[in-house]
Amino acid sequence: MKTEIDLHGYQVVEAIDIFVKHYNAKVKKGDPGSITVIHGYGSTGEGGRIRTALRKLLETHDSYLSFQDDIWNPGKTVVRPNKALSEGAGIVSSEILEYCSSSSSRSESKVLGKFRRYGDINVRNTLRRLVKQGALSTVRKGRHTIYRVK
């Protein structure tokens, strides 16, 4: 069964989280159909922020799914799920992993400062989840917690 999800009107982080929840619910039900994600194309002519973030997420998880542009509308992406995405596979996790891998390590205060727009609680919870999943490791340096990509 083919389903549609419309992400217009959401902030980027909310849109990606909504997509991941919808995607995982579809996989858990065993529904083999594709998902048409309506994200818009943006006014710049290069793709909107939701489209760009969604594509980055999809490219990062290409072993979990396949995707392509809707043949008639570049403001839509057709996704074919294969297996569930990990909890917290959204944009905050992706950006934190990218940030922590671009240097030898990052302190918690630097990560919190960089991603302030997502809220301290959300960033701290994401850091804990990434450590638990084994994507990040921690080291104590004095009173500071340092995060490194494994």
Residue 141 and residue 105 in contact, taking contact as beta carbons nearer than 8 Å: no
If you write DSSP's letter for every residue of 39-101 in order, what string do you get?
----SSSS--HHHHHHHHHHHHTTTTEEEEE-SS-TTEEEEEE-SPPPTT-SHHHHHHHHHHH
Which residue ranges make up each domain of the chain? 3-81, 91-149
CATH code of the domain made up of 91-149 = 1.10.10.10
Q: For the domain 3-81, what is the CATH code?
A: 3.30.1370.110
pLDDT band of residue 118 (cuts 50, 70, 90) is: confident
pLDDT in tens, 6-25: 998 888 888 888 999 899 99
Q: pTM higher than 0.75, yes or no?
A: no
Closest C-alpha to 111, from 147, 57, 150: 147
| In the predicted structure, residue 138 carries a pLDDT above the cut 70 | yes
